[in-house]
Amino acid sequence: MPSLLRHRLACALLCGIAVAGVLTWAAAPSVVFKMPPLPPPAPVIEADPVAPSVPIREAAEADSPALAPTPVTSWLDAQIALARAGFSSGPIDGVGGPQSAAALRAYQESHDLPPTGALDAATRTRLALTSAPLTQLVLSPEDLTRLQPLAPTWLGKSQQTALDYETALELVAERTHASPNLIRRLNPDVHWAEPAAGTPLVVPAIPRLPRTKKAARIIVQLAAHTLEVFDADGGIIAHFPVSIASRVEKRPVGELHVTIVARDPDYTFNPEVFPESEEARSLGRKLMLPPGPNNPVGLAWVGLDLPGYGIHGTPKPEQVGRTQSHGCFRLANWDALTLLDLVWTGLPVVVEP
C-alpha cells in the first residue's frame, strides 16, 4: 500500500430550460464514522490527456484492485458498495443516516432481504466489495485552471463563460460522489485553499459502469423524498434521494412522461419564478445562464410533459432531500447523470404522495 494512503487512513426550481447544442429526444441507528480496513494497493489515476474539460477521469473497474467478495464492515464501505450498485445515499460521508438507510432498504428489497435499513449480517455479506473501496486521484494543471469564481448575482452568472467548479475540493468531492468533509478527512495534509498540481488524493472508488438495463418506469415518492427506477420485471435498478417542491400545490401527483433528455443544459432564468428575489424583481427580463456543474439545473435535465417541470441536477448535492425546490425534482449531479443512462422519451414517471 502506498505510504500516503496508509498515513491518511490512519489519520483519519418551477424550472425554465434552454439547452445548448443538440438535444437528445428520446432509522437505521446512527453509526459512528469508522474507516474501513486498509485496502490493497490502488493505482494512481492520472488525468486523462484527451479530455481536458474533465481531467480527472471517473474511476473504472480496473482502477481498483479486484478482491474476493468481502462483506462490508462500516457505513463507508456500505455507501461505496451501494453507489456502485446504483443505490445512492447522497454524498458519501461514512456516517449512517436516513438517506443511507433508505438506500439500503431499497437494495435489500431488490435482493430479497428484509428491508430493515440496518447493516445486519446477511446484508453485510450480500453487499460485498469486489474491489478496494478507496483509490487515488491526482490533481492536474487542467483541473486547477478550469476553476472559476461563481458570480453572486443572476446577471453575473449569465455573463460567465461557464458555471464551473469554484474549488478543487468541490471538483474532487463531486467527481467521487463524496462529501467535502470526507475528502478532507481522507486527505488531512492537503492545503485546499491552494492545492498544487500533481497532488495525490485518497478518494472513494466509484466506477462509472455502463447500465445494461433500461427503465420501464420511475416512481417519485414525495413523502419519502426518493426517486426509484424500475425495470420491466418490477425490480429496482436505481435509487436516489430527491428534493421536491416546497409548496404543496407545486407538487404534481399522478403519471407524467419524459419528453426530453439533455446533458450540460443551459438555464433560462425567469424572474417571475423568483418573486422572493430583489434582483429578479428589478431585472424585469429573462437571462440565459451557461452550462456547468454550478448551473441551477446542474449537469443533466430530464424534461416532463407538465410544462416547466423536470428532473435535474443541482450545484448543492449536500442539500438534496433536505431542502425543497420551486417545483422540479432535484438530484445530485452524479445521480442525474446516472439517470440519463436509463431513461427514454415517453418513459412513465409516477409521482406518489
**Based on the domain organization, do 200 and 55 belong to the same domain?**
yes
How far apart (Å, rounded) are the C-alpha atoms in residues 3 and 12? 14
Whether residue 29 lies inside any domain: the answer is: no
pLDDT of residue 68: 86
- For 234: left if phi > 0, alpha if psi spans -120 to 50, otherwise beta; the answer is left
Q: Give me the amino acid identity at 208.
A: R
If asked whether residues 132 and 237 sit together in one domain, one would say: no
**215 pLDDT above the threshold of 90:** yes
N-term to C-term CA, the chain: 49
pLDDT at 315 over 60: yes
- Are 79 and 191 contained in the same domain? yes
* For residue 139, pLDDT beyond 70: yes
Would you state the cell numbers that stand for residue 303, as one nine-digit string? 424534461
pLDDT at 67: 78
pLDDT band at 197 (very low <50, low <70, confident <90, very high): very high
The CA distance from 82 to 117, in Å, is 12
Indicate whether 123 and 264 sit together in one domain: no
Is residue 132 domain-resident? yes
Is the pLDDT confidence value at 211 over 60?
yes
Q: Is residue 22 part of a domain?
A: no
What is the structure's pLDDT at 44?
34
Q: Tell me the pLDDT band of 323, cut-offs 50, 70 and 90.
A: low
Domain match, 170 and 311 both = no
Domain membership flag for residue 23: no
**Which range is least confidently modeled, 28-37, 97-106, 189-198, 218-227?**
28-37
In a domain, residue 52? The reply is yes
CB-based contacts of 45: which residues, under 8 Å, 6+ apart? Answer: 56, 57, 59, 63, 135, 136, 137, 138
More confident residue, 30 or 140: 140
Q: Point out the domain boundary residue: 146, 172, 204.
A: 204
**276-294: per-residue pLDDT in tens?**
889 988 998 999 999 999 9
Would you say residue 172 has pLDDT above 60? yes
**Single residue among 181, 204, 227 that ends a domain in this structure:** 204
Which among 158, 165, 151 has a CA at the least distance from the CA of 294? 165
Q: Is position 28 within any domain?
A: no
Q: What's the pLDDT band for 141 if we cut at 50, 70, 90?
A: very high
Query: Is there a single domain that holds both residue 299 and residue 320?
Result: yes
Q: Is residue 305 part of a domain?
A: yes
167 and 275 both lie in a single domain: no
The identity of residue 157, as a single letter, is K
Q: Model confidence over 22-70: pLDDT tens digits?
A: 333 333 333 333 343 433 333 333 333 322 333 333 444 445 667 788 9
Q: Is residue 74 a part of any domain in this protein?
A: yes
Q: pLDDT higher for 95 or 61?
A: 95
As for how many domains the chain has, the answer is 2
What is the number of other CB atoms lying within 10 angstroms of the CB of residue 346? Answer: 11
Same domain (yes/no): 174, 44: yes
Question: Which pLDDT belongs to residue 65?
Answer: 67
141 Cβ contact list (under 8 Å, min separation 6): 197
Which of 176, 204, 232 terminates a domain? The answer is 204
Average pLDDT over all residues of the chain: 84
- For residue 186, give its domain range: 3-12+34-204
Supply the pTM of this predicted model: 0.81
Instruction: Over range 199-225, report the average pLDDT.
Output: 91
In this structure, of 31-35, 170-174, 262-266, the range with the lowest mean pLDDT score is 31-35
Q: Average of pLDDT values for 108-121?
A: 96
Predicted pLDDT of residue 237: 95
Q: 322 and 183 share a domain?
A: no
Alpha carbons 90 and 108: distance in angstroms, whole number: 17
pLDDT at 158 over 50: yes
d(CA 273, CA 25): 26
Residues 249, 311 within the same domain: yes
Calculate mean pLDDT across residues 66-79: 92
Residues 73 and 152 in one domain: yes
- Pick the more confident residue, 65 or 220: 220
Same domain, 221 and 200: no
CATH number at residue 225: 2.40.440.10
Element (H, E) at 264: none
- Rg of the chain in Å (alpha carbons): 20
- Flag the least confident range among 52-61, 121-130, 147-156: 52-61
